[in-house]
Amino acid sequence: MKVLIGPNVMGLEKGIPELQKAHPTIDFVHCADRGAVAAAIADADVYMGHLSREVFLAARKLQWVQSPSSGVNYFLAIPELKDGPVILTGARGTHAASVAESAMAMILAITRGIVDSVQAQPQHKWVGSVRQKLLELTDLKLGIIGLGAIGKALAKRAYAFDMHVTAVDMFPTNKPDYVHELWGLDRQDELLADSDIVVVTIPWTAEVQGMIGAEQIALMKPSAMLVGISRGGIIDQKALAAALREKRIASAALDVFEPEPLPADSELWDIENLLIAPHIAGGTQYEGKYLLEIFGENLAKFVVGEFPLRNQINKQLGF
């Protein structure tokens, strides 16, 4: 059996010695050259890394793909992978803490005047007047759309800031103690209208594309903040831009966009009450470690035919 680790920035190849020790009969190969992946994957049984349709079609023996990311929509955009027999597993849970911390950081950057201070610093301006608009998070209502691993990690942190946490989810069961109310997605409009800050953490599927559009944003308070940290396309960027310009909501922060990278001529760059981060929320010094733990667990199950694997994707549902 051949296991191929593709080009990556996480140092996943550093895990090969440990994997080889656990599975001495498996051939572990790392291909760092993106241009050589198609040739290297031709006889691979297992692949860990990002891949294009061209690379996937070059694989003749492939049985399982491990995504390095929690979101797998880019993989499911390959029809032959989505509709074929190859198993797809995601990295769900590996980025929960880092993405939740990024969401809190963006919220605090806006509510505590950090954005204004950073913008004023190169101009040598003392913006003491910012103090008058600062917000304390105590008792503010946080609405979370999607209470998966990231949503729960965010709720736990928000609870520590004495926020009132409400969440909606496709499967509203097993409410954690740090979530005050957990509702079904059918009450999303109620959450939008009631929340001071709304964070979208729901994973991307075709069904949620554009689910936060002009109609939904119009339900929010004029003082509210909208944060997007799961996948681009869930929040309608044009509708958000219009609402921010017209001050129908107070502020927003986005780490994810459609398309990515965000084009230099996008109108979003010039909206002053929008904080933009370049899809970096998942970054952590433990990223490679977490993924290798999942992969090692799954490889041990895979070689003995024990299924489903951890984080195995229902390719038709998209998660």
Per-residue pLDDT of 233-255, as tens digits, reads 999 999 999 999 999 999 999 99
Task: Please report whether residue 308 resides in a domain.
Answer: no
Is the domain of 123 the same as that of 251?
yes
Residue 85 shares a structural domain with residue 103:
no
Take residue 281 and report the two structure tokens written for it. Answer: 């929320």
Q: Are residues 147 and 267 in the same domain?
A: yes
The closest alpha carbon to 290, from 181, 149, 113, belongs to 149
SS (H, E, C) 187-241: HHHHHHHHCCEEEECCCCCHHHCCCECHHHHCCCCCCCEEEECCCCCCECHHHHH
| pLDDT for residue 88 | 98
Asked if 209 and 75 sit in the same domain, the reply is no
- Same domain (yes/no): 100, 85: no
Q: Judge if 150 and 249 occupy the same domain.
A: yes
Query: Are 61 and 169 within one domain?
Result: no
Does some domain include residue 250? Answer: yes
Q: How confident is the model at residue 121 (pLDDT cuts 50, 70, 90)?
A: very high
pLDDT band at 5 (very low <50, low <70, confident <90, very high): very high
Which residue(s) pair with 251 in the sheet? Answer: 225
**pLDDT (0 to 100) of residue 267:** 98
Write the pLDDT tens digit of every residue in 15-33.
999 999 999 999 999 999 9
Largest CA-CA distance found in the chain, in angstroms, rounded: 67
Which pLDDT score, from 0 to 100, does residue 191 have? 98
Number of domain units in the chain: 2
pLDDT tens for 272-307 read 999 999 999 999 999 999 999 999 999 999 999 999
Residue 319 lies in a domain: no
Residue 130 lies in a domain: yes
pLDDT of residue 74: 92
**Residues above pLDDT 90, as percent of the chain:** 97
pLDDT value at residue 163:
98
pLDDT reported for residue 45? 98
Provide the sign of the torsion angle of the four alpha carbons 121, 123, 125, 130, taken in this order: negative
The per-residue pLDDT for range 43-90, each reduced to its tens digit, is: 999 999 999 999 999 999 999 999 999 889 999 999 999 999 999 999
Strand partners of residue 253: 227, 275
Crossing angle for the helix pair 96-111 and 149-160, nearest 10 degrees?
40
Indicate whether 104 and 116 sit together in one domain. Answer: yes
Q: pTM for this structure?
A: 0.93
Give the pLDDT of residue 42: 98
Residue 312 within any structural domain of the chain: no
3-state class (DSSP) for residue 87: strand
Does the residue 102 lie in any domain?
yes
The answer on 289 and 147 residing in a single domain is no
Which CATH number covers residue 71? 3.40.50.720
Question: Which residues have C-beta within 8 Å of that of residue 225, sequence separation ≥ 6?
Answer: 107, 110, 111, 196, 197, 198, 249, 250, 251, 252, 253
Domain containing 246: what range?
A: 96-276
**Domain identity same for 262 and 296:** no
Same domain flag for 140 and 209? yes
> Could you list the active site residues?
231, 260, 279
In the predicted model, what is the mean pLDDT of the chain?
97
Going by the DSSP 8-state scheme, the letter that residue 262 receives in this structure is P
Cα(227)–Cα(253) distance, integer angstroms: 5
Asked whether residue 40 falls in the same domain as residue 85, the answer is yes
Q: What is the mean pLDDT of residues 96-122?
A: 97
Contact 55, 40 (CB under 8 A): no
- CA distances 107 to 63, 111, 239, Å, are 42, 6, 21
Whether residue 137 is contained in a domain is answered as yes
**Integer Cα distance of 319 and 312 in angstroms:** 8
**Average pLDDT value for residue range 160-184:** 97
Binned at pLDDT 50, 70 and 90, residue 175 comes out as very high
